[in-house]
Amino acid sequence: MLDQIRIDELRNAPVSPFQHIIDGEKRDSSDGDVLNVISPLNGEVLTTMARGTVEDANAGIAAARRAFDDGRWSDLAPSARKKILMKWAALIEEQALEIAVLGVRNNGTEINMAIKAEPMSAANTIRYYAEAIDKIYGEVASTDPSVLALVHREPVGVVGAIVPWNFPLMIGSWKFAPALAAGNTVVLKPAETASLTLVRLAELALEAGMPPGVFNVVTGKGSVVGEAIGLSMDVDVMVFTGSGFIGRKLLEYSARSNLKRCYLELGGKSPNIVFADVPDLDEAVKVSANGIFRNSGQVCIAGSRLLVERCIHDEFVEKLAAFVETLNPGDPLNIKSTAGAVNSMSQLQQNLGFVEEARDLGRGIRTGGTRILEETGGYFMAPTVITGVHPRDRLATDEVFGPVLAVIPFDTEEEAVEIANGTDFGLSSAVWTSNLSRAHRMIRAIQAGVVHVNTYGGADTTVPLGGVKQSGNGHDKSLHALDKYLELKTAWIKL
């Protein structure tokens, strides 16, 4: 149970300037420059952080390269790495509330979600891969008995990770936890608007006994630090969650440098499909609303397109609007708030621009569509439901990344599939039906990395998350994530 009194104490705590963590040390930027950290709760400066230069990025990469090449981490027995990672997870859990509140002040996620989805999720992910890594074995191939053929699994080397602002710890840990567990070293670039908690985690890693240089965090602009990591000849694997625009740049950087492998999660425009035989209409309404409006819609897998069979469309929309109007977006450090702030003013303006475009096209703004709580100085937006959306509207094809739901009616299963697959994305989806045969048909037909049936957004670390089409490649979560960070080496031994 969250303690509102303790949260209120932490919300007013002063926040010291943040520095890079490079080679086990806190460092200012090479030119001494800083970035102001603006809190989305009130639009005011929360603190400053180091504004990384190319030199800083290269220092972080060099530290990671040295730490890998000298074996201080990769040559440790898996059980030894496991011990340090488990201690790290325990330290994160011990300080979970302090970390969560810091994160909320930095990126605006509501505290009820933040505590579970950020520090607790990161701790659990670190623990998951720590527990797994000493259970991953090589192989003995079945071949000519005069030959011993072995397949070794080795760490790849230096991993460059660029993570987004919506869930920096959760998504960050999906990348650095398996990378580190497998014996790689990491240089991580957080988003400019959500860096603080990742720096804090790097400090705790050192406290847990992680050797210097194994986990480095360089803050700053993506156009500087991110580009330097992408172009480096000493980074072996690049992992990224963010926009398709930046994903394409990283592929270019790979081609221009050492052909480093790039694994990209590039967002989605996920369809949430409700058939007339939905098992529980009220439950579908509630879960569908939470599937788009939690964290103010700033969720990669958000069910931002609601496809409803026409014969129940009006009833479903009425119930949905009524439920949405009971939601309580507001101060994300108030435990009664159901959604927090939009991450930045630019993101808020983008969200509102989509609403205005839909209004100009004559679409129905069923509820929401406005900035709220403007008097706080923060970046808050009412949960928004837009009806009568055409499948080719930009609202139905482009990722908004805000609390904006596009509602589209359909008449047949075939039409639902056509609409669902009618975007460049393919990350997540859902189907609500009582017909088991239809559920299996839809799972096969929908072009997405995840298909939920009669639920939305509940998949945990045990299963992979990855997209198809322009939602990216590779997988986070599950044991399959380790494939990105382990190299296969064949040993062919003549007996």
User: How much is the pLDDT for 259?
Assistant: 98
What residue segments make up the domains of the chain, in order of their start?
A: 4-266+472-492, 271-460
Cα–Cα distance measured from residue 319 to residue 331, given in angstroms and rounded to the nearest whole number: 26
When pLDDT is averaged across residues 312-332 and rounded to a whole number, the result is 97
Cα–Cα distance measured from residue 158 to residue 233, given in angstroms and rounded to the nearest whole number: 10
Give the domain 271-460 fold.
Answer: Aldehyde Dehydrogenase; Chain A, domain 2 (3.40.309)
What pLDDT digit, counting tens, does each position of 277-300 carry?
999 999 999 999 999 999 999 999
What pLDDT digit, counting tens, does each position of 13-22 carry?
999 999 999 9
What pLDDT digit, counting tens, does each position of 33-47 carry?
999 999 999 999 999
| Strands 380-381 and 452-453, sheet pairing | unpaired
Q: Within 13 Å and on the Cβ side, how many CA atoms surround 400?
A: 35
What pLDDT digit, counting tens, does each position of 412-438 carry?
999 999 999 999 999 999 999 999 999
H/E element, 46 = strand 45-50
Mean pLDDT over each residue of the chain, to the nearest integer: 97
Cα–Cα distance measured from residue 113 to residue 121, given in angstroms and rounded to the nearest whole number: 10
110 is catalytic: no
Cα–Cα distance measured from residue 339 to residue 113, given in angstroms and rounded to the nearest whole number: 9
Cα–Cα distance measured from residue 489 to residue 495, given in angstroms and rounded to the nearest whole number: 19
Question: Taking Cα atoms as reference points, which of 212, 157, 216 lies closest to residue 190?
Answer: 216
Cα–Cα distance measured from residue 328 to residue 296, given in angstroms and rounded to the nearest whole number: 11
| Strands 147-155 and 139-140, sheet pairing | antiparallel
Cα–Cα distance measured from residue 9 to residue 370, given in angstroms and rounded to the nearest whole number: 31
Cα–Cα distance measured from residue 355 to residue 364, given in angstroms and rounded to the nearest whole number: 10
Name the residue with tokens 């499909």.
Answer: 273
- Gyration radius of the chain over CA positions: 23
Dihedral Cα 386, 391, 392, 396, nearest 10 deg: 50
User: How much is the pLDDT for 458?
Assistant: 80
Name the residue with tokens 């027995």.
Answer: 77
Contact 336, 328 (CB under 8 A): yes
When pLDDT is averaged across residues 329-352 and rounded to a whole number, the result is 97
Contact 131, 476 (CB under 8 A): no
Give the homologous superfamily in CATH for domain 4-266+472-492: Aldehyde Dehydrogenase; Chain A, domain 1 (3.40.605.10)
What pLDDT digit, counting tens, does each position of 214-238 carry?
999 999 999 999 999 999 999 999 9
495 Cβ contact list (under 8 Å, min separation 6): 145, 146, 147, 148
What pLDDT digit, counting tens, does each position of 44-54 carry?
999 999 999 99
User: How much is the pLDDT for 436?
Assistant: 98
89 exposure class (CB count in 10 Å sphere: 0-12, 13-18, 19+): buried
User: How much is the pLDDT for 356?
Assistant: 98
**Among residues 265, 309, 399, 413, which one is catalytic?**
265
What pLDDT digit, counting tens, does each position of 110-168 carry?
999 999 999 999 999 999 999 999 999 999 999 999 999 999 999 999 999 999 999 99
Residue 270, pLDDT > 90, answer: yes
Cα–Cα distance measured from residue 64 to residue 157, given in angstroms and rounded to the nearest whole number: 9
Question: Taking Cα atoms as reference points, which of 254, 230, 277 lies closest to residue 434?
Answer: 277
- Token pair in block for residue 12: 């007013």
When pLDDT is averaged across residues 330-334 and rounded to a whole number, the result is 98
User: How much is the pLDDT for 459?
Assistant: 85
Question: What's the distance, CA 257 to chain centroid?
Answer: 26
- Token pair in block for residue 124: 């659990």
Dihedral Cα 71, 75, 78, 81, nearest 10 deg: -30
What pLDDT digit, counting tens, does each position of 61-73 carry?
999 999 999 999 9
Contact 274, 440 (CB under 8 A): no
Residue 1, pLDDT > 90, answer: no
Cα–Cα distance measured from residue 265 to residue 38, given in angstroms and rounded to the nearest whole number: 26
Residues β-bridged to residue 489: 152
